[in-house]
Chain A
Amino acid sequence: MFTQVEKTPAQTEQMSETRLIRYVDALREAFEEEMARDPKVFLFGLDVDDHKGIQGSTIGLQEKFGKDRVFCTPLSEDAMTGVAIGAAIAGYRPIHVHIRMDFMLLCMNQLVNMAAKSHYMYNGQVKVPLVVRTMIGRSWGQGGQHSQALHSMFMHVPGLKVVAPANAHDAKGCMISAIRDNNPVIFIEHRLLYSTEGYVPTKSYEVPLGKARILTEGTDITIVAVSHMVMEALRAKKHLESVGINAEVIDPITLWPLDMETIMQSVKKTGKLLMVDNAWLTCGASSEILTRAMEMCQEEDISIPSLARMGFAPTTCPTTKPLENLFYPDARSIAVKAYQMTQGKKAKTWEPPVSANTEIDAFKGPF
């Protein structure tokens, strides 16, 4: 298993006991605890009650909470999203599950025109406390239609919250917060994160939405990374350490609302911001974060930091491995970029060693 062994600062603050569990099990615990706590919470979507249980994240829930609260649906994502919104407006707290983010494109009308707008448009008369769980795919030929990361589309729309936790601790805490939140929350998971392990408190806890996390402190450069890219950024940090560069790695966790304060505090210290998105760059989370950083510097009348960003290649994701490898940033390319930013253009070239086997290499299909 690929473990994120270092405890995050917030975890050490929390006095409660922790244990090492997988991301996917952390999610399942969140559902189990919240469904036990609040009878209005229900979970539905394609395949949630089959024996594979959404990579294990919903295993046992139907046995425990019954078929009224945990059930599968026909392949009708558009209508099922509307159904979730209707139930939410009526006072329930649905969790609607999709096994790939790509399928949420079928839900866009309901999410954008209804879920995001109802509370405002009806002047507060209704609320839509809805969680939409969705998974970014990668590798083993997931290809063009099973690997998209579309968080920026949702960030664009006022009324939606967007979270993309990158470790087991934040997955559970954010899920609990999302379920308790009175707004539609797009909850973005990543196929390659499911098997990664992290320290998770035994007691229930919330990770507040809208708060970024400094994962490792550093002085030379700020690296902000999203979803699975957080793991790559943490590996990049190790590469950088070997050449004496100290990177501060920040996970925004919530992509909207965005915690720019935490990011800016770090950038003011390091003077350099490298944003690594787990998505395309154009009109993406990276555009937003870098623009906000510039605007905030201008507002405060301080000099603009050195800015750069990395993300998916601007193409459709190809299935064949040699091309797919070029599609994603990785620990080495992130480290090289950060190296260039800190050492200046004239610095001699540096090639970090090839990384040890990771969750990316370990992932095998068939899906």
Chain B
Amino acid sequence: MYDQIITARLYKTMLLIRQIELRIAEIYYTDAIKSPVHLSVGQESIAVGVCDALEKDDIVSNTYRCHATYIAKGGNLFEMMAELYGKATGCAGGKAGSMHLVDIKNGVMGASAVVGTTIPVATGYALAMQNEAKITGKQRVVVALCGDGGTEEGCFYESINFAALRKLPIIFICENNRLAIHTPLEKRWATDQLCERIATFGIKTHKIDDADVFTIRDTMVNALADIRKGSGPIFIECATYRWLEHVGPLDDHKDDYRNTKEYQTWKDNDQILRLGKMLDEKTRIQLEDEVALTLQQIEKFAEESPYPAAEELYTHVYAS
């Protein structure tokens, strides 16, 4: 059983992600956020289970659906919100928007809007971490997340092959929500055996069907221990469900590509509700208050921050 401290921490981070994203959805109509938002509502337990097991100097890389891992990895929340508002104080000075969140200090590699593209880049980061460890004696680890659609790109397999070959310190994670925009898995894969496919590259795989945040965290803890000893890459497939539309603030379960029964099953399995019930009421309410306060603060910061000055258009085209 998990102690209350870990449970509270996981609960709080999942709740933070949920509330920030629901708030983004709520205010989206005001046009304050002029950025395509791909929300992770419903998928929070993966980001949190994964990142809670990491050290601060470990690295995560993700897709355009990157708010959850950014938050879970400890990315700066003020800078995140300001980035969504296109403000100069944003994590990328307003140049990135929602799809390209980055916070190198806190181990968040820049996210990419082109499916699959970050997977080899994360692999390259892991190659560097492997070399670095020979000098520092400390093996940092890279986590590369992608969606089920991401596994269809050639570079996914090419990266896994290379990582396996070189025993790189990387964990590949597929957040399998069975949808690529509106296209279900059945129209994209002949079989569902993703882990089996990956295993043939000679790496360990784990399949987690229920999005249980503790199971995800345990799997990560064990995987990290092995990788830090040089075991080479590990692949984890986490089943999950996207509650909202692919991009944008709305629930689109009225559209016929959706299955409301499946939605209900996943809602019943909501990890935030579950962990909330595991906490004593006083703790839970205190955490909720803390989350609510953070939300107010980051929104205010984003609103009050200035837009970037015109000169910023030409900064960082080249590195000095």
Contacts and interface: CB of A to CB of B under 8 A. Distances in A.
B80 to A, nearest CB: 14
B37 A50 contact: no
Contacts of A316: 95, 317
A320 B308 contact: yes
A144 interface: yes
A146 to B, nearest CB: 6
Contacts of A77: 153
Contacts of A318: 94-95, 308, 312-313
Interface residues of A, number: 40
A78 B310 CA distance: 38
A73 B180 CA distance: 11
B31 A141 contact: no
A231 interface: no
Given A46-B180, A319-B94, A320-B307, A366 B36 contact: yes
Interface stretch (A240-248, A322-330, A350-358): A322-330
15 contacts: A50-B183, A51-B255, A72-B183, A74-B152, A76-B153, A77-B153, A78-B154, A144-B96, A146-B99, A315-B317, A320-B90, A320-B94, A320-B97, A323-B95, A326-B313
A145 B98 CA distance: 12
A2 interface: no
Interface stretch (B107-115, B124-132, B226-234, B286-294): B107-115
A365 interface: yes
B180 A51 contact: no
B116 A320 contact: no
Contact of B154 (A79, A327, A364): A79
Interface string B224-259: 000000000000000000000101110000011100
A318 B308 CA distance: 11
A315 B317 CA distance: 6
Given A51-B255, A143-B99, A365-B34, A320 B112 contact: no
B314 A140 contact: no
Interface string A318-342: 1111110011000000000000000
Size class of the B contact interface (CB-based, 8 Å): 35 or more
B97 to A, nearest CB: 3
A279 to B, nearest CB: 16
A308 to B, nearest CB: 21
A321 B181 CA distance: 26
A143 B248 CA distance: 16
Interface string B75-114: 0000000000011001000111111100000000000111
A184 B272 CA distance: 52
Interface in A43-99: 46-47, 50-52, 72-79
A313 interface: yes
A140 B33 CA distance: 9
- Interface SS, A side: loop
Given A75-B152, A367-B36, A141 B307 contact: no
A137 to B, nearest CB: 10
Interface string A279-322: 00000000000000000000000000000000001111011111
B35 A365 contact: yes
Contact of B188 (A74, A144, A313, A367): A74
A79 B158 CA distance: 14
Contact of B96 (A50, A106, A315, A319): A319
Interface string B1-32: 00000000000000000000000000010010
Interface in B169-188: 180-183, 187-188
Interface string B278-310: 000000000000000000000000000001101
A326 B310 contact: yes
B132 to A, nearest CB: 28
B307 A365 contact: no
Contacts of B49: none
B317 A314 contact: yes
B189 interface: yes
B241 to A, nearest CB: 18
A177 interface: no
A82 to B, nearest CB: 11
Contacts of A145: 99-100, 112-114
Given A50-B257, A319-B95, A320-B95, A102 B35 contact: no
